[in-house]
Amino acid sequence: MRILSTICLSLLLLACSSDADSWLQEAKSRLQKGETVSAKEAIKKALEKNPGLAEAYNLQGVIAFQEKSWVEARTNYQKAIELKPSLYTAQLNLGALEMEQGQWKAALAPTEAAVKLQPDSSAAYLQRGIVHAALGKSDAAVADFTQSISKNAKEINALYNRGNIYFQQEKYALANQDFESCVQIDPSFSKGFYAMGLSYYKVNEKEKACFALQQAQKLKYPGAKEAVENLCN
């Protein structure tokens, strides 16, 4: 009889878990459609079925982040991590929240946890690179951006940020390579053209500099018009 009861209980728990996962998927679907209110209701249903569903708290945090409810977002991300420390998205999201708040030192630990959990994630290395750059650790930032690019050759933000560091270090040839890669990947990437223009100007390649700045101007990048007038006329 005890064995039968245990089996029945196990089946019940599996059924509840399945129901909770279904509600969680429904919440994700509704959120993708921009239906925030109904997404929240679906998350509530998921947590009623399974109060220990870390992914539901993480998604609740995502919604709070979108609504700029920072305290609520942090509470939900931390709850998700408490329930499931191996949840990569919650670690990455908590890091992003701290970054949004300008808490760069606090952002480092969860972002590093995300890197360890998903060592093949381009996004995790990109995020840690941005944190390192903000903390003044340029070499570590370059290493992370390089890793991000190695995982995804079209990671335009890693290329742009690495190019910016090279520019600050007066390594203009390397900076130009990264900025050129940016605009090849996305010809509408206006700040890439602007940065490339300034970088080429630094090495007295005025023709290339002005072409890039004019492209930035066409794309209406702030400051590009003035740069063309000051540097190219």
Whether 109 has a pLDDT exceeding 90, the answer reads yes
pLDDT band at 47 (very low <50, low <70, confident <90, very high): very high
Class of domain 149-233: mainly alpha
Evaluate whether 26-118 and 149-233 have a shared fold: yes
Superfamily of segment(s) 26-118:
Tetratricopeptide repeat domain (1.25.40.10)
Q: 100-125 burial string, b = 16+ CB within 10 Å, else e? A: eeeebebbbebbbbbbebbeebbbbb
Given this model, what pLDDT does residue 20 score? 87
Q: Which residues contact 130 (CB under 8 A, 6 or more apart)?
A: 99, 141, 161
Q: Widest CA span of the chain, in angstroms?
A: 91
Is residue 10's pLDDT more than 70?
Answer: no
The residues spanned by each domain of the chain are 26-118, 149-233
Per-residue model confidence as pLDDT tens digits over 122-180: 999 999 999 999 999 999 999 999 999 999 999 999 999 999 999 999 999 999 999 99
Half-sphere exposure of residue 28: CA atoms within 13 angstroms, side-chain side: 11
pLDDT surpassing 60 at residue 199 = yes
Residue 18 predicted with pLDDT over 50: yes
| pLDDT tens profile 204-219 | 999 999 999 999 999 9
Alpha carbon distances (Å) from 101 to 70, 148, 198: 8, 23, 30
Question: Residue 83: CB partners within 8 Å, gap ≥ 6?
Answer: 52, 53, 54, 57
